[in-house]
């Protein structure tokens, strides 16, 4: 390189370093926030001879101190030093020991009237935000966060707060709106306020952390985490059937309500509980819907149905039979039992074993086969299918016919035939005994009167022989005593006997058939 050109460049370089404008390094953007009562340091670079520091508020300029190449002069509340960087280039460092609100002014690094640098100081007092003054909650599918702060101060009245989701995404950069209030503490003015937000909950399952920062303040003041989880779809505990006239209640719910909890309830009721009093059969088949809703705008909407069933009856039981003779002489009897006015169905129980049984909703058929001719008593019990303790029963008695009784009496070894024959013989014997006793009593009453009668002595009273007179007056002379006292041979004496049961509804255990007695020859 040409020597002259090198020297010329060096001169211009040195001149440029010495005569460039000074720079306050800590104030590159024209301003700086400093905490009240803290120590703040500022550095003014690029001066060659003398430098001075001032505070200026456009109405008054106060000198802080100055430095030359060898020393610095400053006041009690400051420290000021000069540091040589190059041969003719110096750096001055200013330390403010206790920053006050009055120093919220322009800080000037002054080299000459045309070479100076300004730095606007903003004095602040950081907010105090106790954790107990903060909360994050969920309501009506919205996340709500709030923090109350106090004892905050900013000389430029610049206050703001911000909420973050998952610590890296600012979703709200807020002012304090109208919540800010000024108050005085120890002769100093402070501000208090509340930082809040409301937003829809996330609809993707997971954990979400919410954080809050305040300015003026120290970084993040508060953290809280919520969990988003989907619910399981609705169910209810309603009974399948209730008996007519009863009360019941059931709840629409979810086995896992999710986070935040889903809302479950019956359509049209706005309630989780369905209450029915004095259930009527008219409610049968009525549809009720249990619905579960979760998330903003019903992000999850599921439902399940409940059909009311009211059981009733039976109100009566009807029992009848049909009979037909089989080829082998046995009888096939079909019994039909009908439950009247029953829902949903009836359950039938027979008092005997059916050869074949068929059932439907309210009718049961029972077929039996009889090989012996005997009296048959059958009971059918019909109960409600869902309420077995509600039942009615009916009994049908099939008596043995007269022809069957005669045939049975003639058969050998027949218990019934022997019984009837024995009863008949006993009846005849009793009639004979009664007749003998009656004749004997009558004779005894007549004989003493006639046999002991005697004629009185002459000195006794006269008497009339009534028997003789009667013979004389009413009978022929030759009539005997027997003829007088004996009744005509074709006349009969009888005693009428009547048997009465215990009551009108009592069934006879045995049937007696009495024929006409033959006339004596």
Mean pLDDT by 10 residues, the chain (521 residues): 46 47 86 94 84 86 86 90 79 92 92 85 95 93 93 93 81 73 94 91 94 89 94 94 95 94 94 96 95 95 96 96 83 94 95 93 93 83 95 89 44 32 44 66 54 43 40 40 40 33 32 32 34
Taken as a whole, the chain contains a residue count of 521
Nearest to 36, CA basis, from 162, 127, 160? 127
How far apart, in whole angstroms, are the C-alpha atoms of residue 425 and residue 430?
9
How far apart, in whole angstroms, are the C-alpha atoms of residue 270 and residue 264?
9
Indicate the burial class of 191 (C-beta count within 10 angstroms; 0-12, 13-18, 19 or more). buried
Q: Which residue has the tokens 């009539």?
A: 479
How far apart, in whole angstroms, are the C-alpha atoms of residue 303 and residue 268?
13
Q: What is the pLDDT of residue 444?
A: 62
Cα distances (Å, whole numbers) of residue 367 to 7, 12, 58, 353, 378: 137, 132, 121, 9, 12
Read off the tokens for 352. Answer: 């005997």
Q: What is the pLDDT of residue 497?
A: 29
Q: Which residue has the tokens 């989701």?
A: 165
Q: What is the pLDDT of residue 87?
A: 67
How far apart, in whole angstroms, are the C-alpha atoms of residue 139 and residue 200?
9
Q: What is the pLDDT of residue 445?
A: 57
C-alpha of 164 from chain center: 40
Q: What is the DSSP letter of 507?
A: P
- Model pTM greater than 0.75? no
Nearest to 512, CA basis, from 402, 373, 429, 374? 402
Q: Which residue has the tokens 């101060």?
A: 153
Cα distances (Å, whole numbers) of residue 446 to 439, 443, 449, 483: 11, 5, 6, 15
Task: With residue 382 as reference, give the H or E element that holds it.
Answer: strand 376-384
Indicate the burial class of 380 (C-beta count within 10 angstroms; 0-12, 13-18, 19 or more). buried
pLDDT digits (tens, 9 = 90+) for 354-371: 999 999 999 999 999 887
pLDDT digits (tens, 9 = 90+) for 79-97: 999 888 776 778 889 999 9
Nearest to 105, CA basis, from 36, 63, 152, 58? 58
Task: With residue 497 as reference, give the H or E element that holds it.
Answer: none
């Amino acid at each position: 390189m040409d020597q002259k050109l090198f020297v010329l460049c060096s001169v211009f370089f040195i001149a440029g370093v010495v005569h460039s404008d000074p720079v306050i390094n800590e104030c590159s953007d024209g301003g700086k926030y400093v905490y009240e009562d803290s120590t703040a340091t500022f550095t003014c670079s690029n001066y060659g001879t003398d430098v001075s520091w001032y505070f200026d508020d456009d109405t008054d300029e106060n000198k802080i101190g100055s430095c030359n190449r060898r020393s610095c002069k400053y006041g009690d509340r400051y420290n000021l030093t000069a540091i040589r960087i190059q041969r003719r280039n110096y750096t001055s460092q200013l330390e403010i020991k206790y920053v006050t609100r009055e120093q919220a002014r322009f800080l000037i690094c002054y080299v000459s009237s045309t070479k100076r640098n300004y730095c606007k100081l903003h004095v602040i007092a950081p907010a105090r935000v106790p954790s107990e003054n903060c909360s994050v909650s969920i309501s009506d599918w919205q996340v709500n966060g709030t923090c109350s702060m106090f004892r905050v101060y900013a000389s430029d009245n610049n206050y703001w707060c911000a909420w973050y989701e998952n610590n890296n995404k600012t979703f709200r950069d807020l002012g304090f709106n109208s919540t800010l209030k000024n108050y005085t503490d120890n002769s100093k003015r402070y501000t208090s306020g509340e930082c809040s937000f409301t937003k829809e909950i996330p609809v993707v399952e997971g954990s979400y952390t919410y954080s809050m920062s305040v300015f003026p303040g120290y970084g993040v003041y508060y953290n809280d985490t919520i969990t988003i989880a989907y619910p399981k779809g609705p169910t209810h505990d309603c009974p399948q059937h209730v008996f007519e006239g009863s009360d019941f209640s059931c709840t629409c719910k979810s086995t896992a309500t999710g986070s935040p909890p889903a809302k479950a309830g019956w359509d049209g009721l706005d309630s989780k509980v369905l209450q029915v009093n004095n259930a009527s059969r008219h409610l049968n088949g009525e549809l009720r819907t249990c619905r579960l809703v979760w998330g903003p705008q019903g992000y999850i909407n599921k439902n399940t149905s409940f059909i009311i069933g009211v059981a009733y009856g039976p109100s009566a039981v009807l029992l009848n039979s049909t009979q037909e003779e089989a080829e082998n002489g046995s009888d096939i009897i079909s019994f039909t039992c009908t439950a009247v006015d029953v829902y949903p169905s009836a359950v039938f129980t027979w008092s005997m074993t059916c050869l074949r049984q068929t059932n439907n909703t309210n009718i049961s058929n029972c077929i039996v086969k009889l090989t012996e001719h005997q009296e048959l008593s059958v009971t059918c019990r019909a109960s409600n299918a869902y309420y077995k303790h509600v039942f009615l029963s009916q009994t049908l008695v099939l008596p043995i016919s007269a022809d069957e009784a005669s045939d049975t009496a003639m058969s050998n070894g027949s218990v019934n035939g022997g019984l009837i024959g024995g009863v008949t013989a006993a009846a005849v014997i009793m009639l004979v005994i009664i007749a003998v006793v009656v004749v004997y009593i009558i004779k005894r009453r007549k004989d003493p009167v006639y046999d002991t009668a005697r004629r009185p002595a002459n000195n006794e009273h006269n008497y009339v022989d009534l028997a003789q007179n009667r013979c004389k007056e009413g009978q022929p002379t030759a009539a005997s005593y027997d003829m007088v006292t004996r009744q005509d041979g074709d006349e009969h004496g009888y005693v009428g006997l009547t048997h009465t049961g215990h009551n009108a509804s009592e069934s006879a255990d045995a049937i007696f058939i009495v024929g006409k007695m033959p006339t004596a020859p």
